[in-house]
Amino acid sequence: MLSVLRDRTYRHLFTAQVIALVGTGLATVALSLLAYDIAGAAAGSVLGTALAIKMVAYVAIAPAIGAIADRLPRRALLAGSDLIRVAVALTLPFVDQVWQVYVLVFVLQSASAAFTPTFQGVIPDVLPAERDYTRALSLSRLAYDLESLFSPALAAALLSLITYNWLFAGTAVGFLASAALVVSAVLPKPAAAAHTGSARGKATAGARLFFATPRLRALLALNLAVAAASAVVTVNSVVYVRDHLGRSAGDVPLALGAYGAGSMAVALLLPRVLDRVPDRTVMLSGALLLTVVFAGLGGITAADSGNWRWSALLTAWAAFGAACSMVLTPTGRLIRRSAPATGRTSAFAAQFSLSHACWLLTYPLAGWLGAAAGLQSAVLALGTTALAAGLLALRLWPSHDPDRIPHLHTALDAQHPHLAGAAPAPEGWRHSHTYVIDGLHDTWPTEPQRVLGR
């Protein structure tokens, strides 16, 4: 897996990603302490609102950036996003009003919504070989999981020596280092894109690609299944550990660590698995595993006593992490396979936006329903959501899903360059190639394999 780090450009970009993730983790800890200083006992409400603002920024800003990304130098866009995050991190220690926190969180997360899809869209150009790209995806998944374990530990160690305001300085240093590494990398030129169409059309291009491509429609359902599971872990871990099991606060990180360990284990194994097993099999199996784990969690939740519940909860959280990684790690391969080279950034922006829209739904559901009706009701609702989403993905993703699809053009002129090598047919011209939704193919072919050319 580490062989891809021999590529200098990817090595610099991956290191930039890791450093930025650590900075983000430090900021998360510092922000919670800042909220407590400002709002006291209402800090939970402040953080909940900040999380909602984060999701809104992700859902709204990512498609807008995807619409203009092809007009901007990618290196400048990435480094500029990091510098905006530096400015916000350096400003946060000086705020003393809740509304100021909300504004700065929106700016910070808007910059992240610009950085992440652009970064994801660059990697397929840096590592064009499928085998290398798969290993890069697994490394990225590992980076996210390690950050979730390492950043809180680093923050705890630093807080024993300094006040929390200095954590924001550490965040700023991380983003500065990320910007420097991005600037030092020589990025390949993106495929030339025609600057046509309205701004609204470009902003929605990625979403239209998703809804027009069967395997990407299935990915939307899989995103919802993953969001249901991750919401239970993120929102209700502390409730399970402290209230339901009556354990100490120190056990909360252990539960979250079990989730990360499960995810990392799968991320390490998947590169070799994906060399032999189709993405569809791996991802749908992950969705099925989620529903099995939800059933087990229902049993753990229903039990009101027994020392076995703690080890069972750790096992369930590790299984959730493994199942989510089975779905999330191959996602980049699926998008690269389904999007034209000129539309990759828009496609990754759509994935970023639409997946966070799922979390915007499941996070409140996990928290509010769990608080109002109890953990068992939350598990039942989210487990049912995951099951329905998994079954929908199974239905939407055809079992026979080749890259090359024969199809018929009925409206293109015979001299059109796209028809070079095409065979004449009674109603137009027939040929076969790797099929993606683009300007010449605006619908997915069905029998009798017809596409209206433009």
In angstroms, the CA 104 to CA 108 distance is 6
Instruction: For residue 196, tell me if it sits in a domain.
Output: no
The answer on 441 and 370 residing in a single domain is no
The answer on 292 and 346 residing in a single domain is yes
Q: How many domains does the chain have?
A: 3
Can you give the pLDDT at residue 449?
Answer: 60
Domain span at 126: 1-136+148-187
The answer on 278 and 237 residing in a single domain is yes
| Share of residues in the chain with pLDDT > 90 (%) | 31
Mean pLDDT for the chain? Answer: 85
The CATH number linked to 320 is 1.20.1250.20
**Which strands, in side-by-side order, build the sheet including 450-451?**
423-425, 428-434, 404-409, 450-451
Reported as a single tens digit per residue, the pLDDT across 134-191 is 888 888 878 877 776 676 667 767 777 778 788 888 889 999 999 999 999 888 876 6
Residue 384 has pLDDT above 60, yes or no: yes
The answer on 296 and 424 residing in a single domain is no
The answer on 110 and 96 residing in a single domain is yes
Scanning the structure block, which residue is given the tokens 């790690």?
329
Q: What is the mean pLDDT of residues 339-362?
A: 86
Q: What is the mean pLDDT of residues 391-406?
A: 93
The answer on 394 and 371 residing in a single domain is yes
The answer on 276 and 239 residing in a single domain is yes
Reported as a single tens digit per residue, the pLDDT across 28-74 is 778 767 877 787 756 656 766 777 788 888 888 877 776 676 677 88
Reported as a single tens digit per residue, the pLDDT across 234-281 is 888 888 888 888 888 778 778 888 888 899 899 889 989 998 999 999
The helix-helix angle for 130-159 and 331-338 (nearest 10°) equals 140
The answer on 396 and 362 residing in a single domain is yes
The answer on 281 and 255 residing in a single domain is yes
In angstroms, the CA 212 to CA 435 distance is 12
Among 283-287, 300-304, 378-382, name the one with the lowest average pLDDT: 300-304
Q: Which residues of 345-367 are buried (b: 16+ CB within 10 A; e: fewer)?
A: bbbbbbbbbbbbbbbbbbbbbbb
Q: How confident is the model at residue 453 (pLDDT cuts 50, 70, 90)?
A: low
Can you give the pLDDT at residue 135?
Answer: 85
Instruction: For residue 198, tell me if it sits in a domain.
Output: no
The answer on 183 and 34 residing in a single domain is yes
The answer on 269 and 318 residing in a single domain is yes
**Cβ within 8 Å of residue 78, ≥6 positions away:** 16, 115, 118, 119, 122, 179, 182
In angstroms, the CA 78 to CA 127 distance is 18
Can you give the pLDDT at residue 69?
Answer: 66
